[in-house]
Amino acid sequence: MIRLPAFAAVLAALLLAAPALASAEDGDVLVQAGHEGRPESCARLHVKACNLGTAGSGAREMEWTAAVADETTRVLRAHGYTVLRRPADYEGSDSARAAVFLHFDGASPCASGASVGFPSTTSRAFVGGWERAYRAWFPFRFVGENFTENEHKYYGFRKVDAPEKMLIEFGEMTCPAQFAWMAPRLREMGDRLAAFLMAQVPPR
Ligand SMILES: [Zn+2]
C-alpha cells in the first residue's frame, strides 16, 4: 500500500524536474541573436558569464544581431522553413538541421574583421560555403576560423543538437570603416545568410 503523502512528494519532485525540458523544440534552422535579452536573462537564468557584447558609433551589438536574425528568420519562414529564433539565454535545448549564432566583433579599432567559429562536428562544406559567399561580399579582413577559444567552444553550441552549427562574426563594430559599411547592410546580411542556409538545408 502507498501512503498518499509520500506519493505526492515523489510526484512533486518529478514535476519540479520537468520544466528544464519543457521548451525543447525541433525545427529546420535555429537562428540565435548574440547577446539579445541580456542582462535580464542572465539574472533570470543564473548565467554567470553575462557578456553583453560590443558596441560602436552609438549602436549596440545585440541590436544588430537581432536585426540580422529577424531578417534571416523572415526570409526562411516565407520559404516554408521552421525557424527556432532564439535570444542569448533560454531554457531547454533544441534540435535542428542547422544552427547559426550571430555576432559582431569588438577589438582595438580595426584589429579584427569577420570570422567564424564551429565545433568539430560541423562539416567543411558548411563552413567553406559560408566563407566563400561572405568573403566575396565583405570588403574587409576575414580573420579566420576558431581564432579564439570562445568561438570554438561557444556555450550556444551545447543548446542545440544539429549536424551543422556555426558562430558567425560578420565584422568589427569598433572599426569605423567596417561599421560604416555594415550599418546600412544589416537587412542584406540577413537575406544573404538566409540564401546560404536554404542552399545548405534543402526544403523537406
Ligand atoms: Zn558577440
Dihedral, CA of residue 130, residue 71, residue 29 and residue 178, to nearest 10: 30
For 85-124, the pLDDT digits (tens) are 999 999 999 999 999 999 999 999 999 999 999 999 999 9
For ligand 1, the distance from its centroid to the CA atom of residue 9, given in whole angstroms, is 43
pLDDT for residue 15 is more than 60 = no
For 113-123, the pLDDT digits (tens) are 999 999 999 99
Tell me the three cell numbers of residue 28.
529546420
Q: Which H or E run contains 17?
A: helix 4-17
> Chain-wide mean pLDDT for the chain?
91
For ligand 1, the distance from its centroid to the CA atom of residue 167, given in whole angstroms, is 9
For ligand 1, the distance from its centroid to the CA atom of residue 54, given in whole angstroms, is 6
For 135-186, the pLDDT digits (tens) are 999 999 999 999 877 888 899 999 999 999 999 999 999 999 999 999 999 9
For ligand 1, the distance from its centroid to the CA atom of residue 68, given in whole angstroms, is 13
For ligand 1, the distance from its centroid to the CA atom of residue 113, given in whole angstroms, is 13
For ligand 1, the distance from its centroid to the CA atom of residue 7, given in whole angstroms, is 47
Report the Cα 158 to chain-centroid distance in Å: 12
Q: 37 with 86: CB under 8 angstroms?
A: no
Determine the pLDDT at residue 10.
54
Residue 5 to residues 13, 14, 67, 182: CA-CA distances in angstroms? 12, 14, 52, 62
Q: What is the Cα–Cα distance from 166 to 130, expressed in whole angstroms?
A: 10
Pairing of strands 114-117, 142-145: parallel
Alpha helices by DSSP H, 21-165: 40-45, 61-78, 124-135, 149-152
**Global confidence as pTM:** 0.88
Determine the pLDDT at residue 8.
58
For ligand 1, the distance from its centroid to the CA atom of residue 65, given in whole angstroms, is 8
Residue with cell 556555426: 166
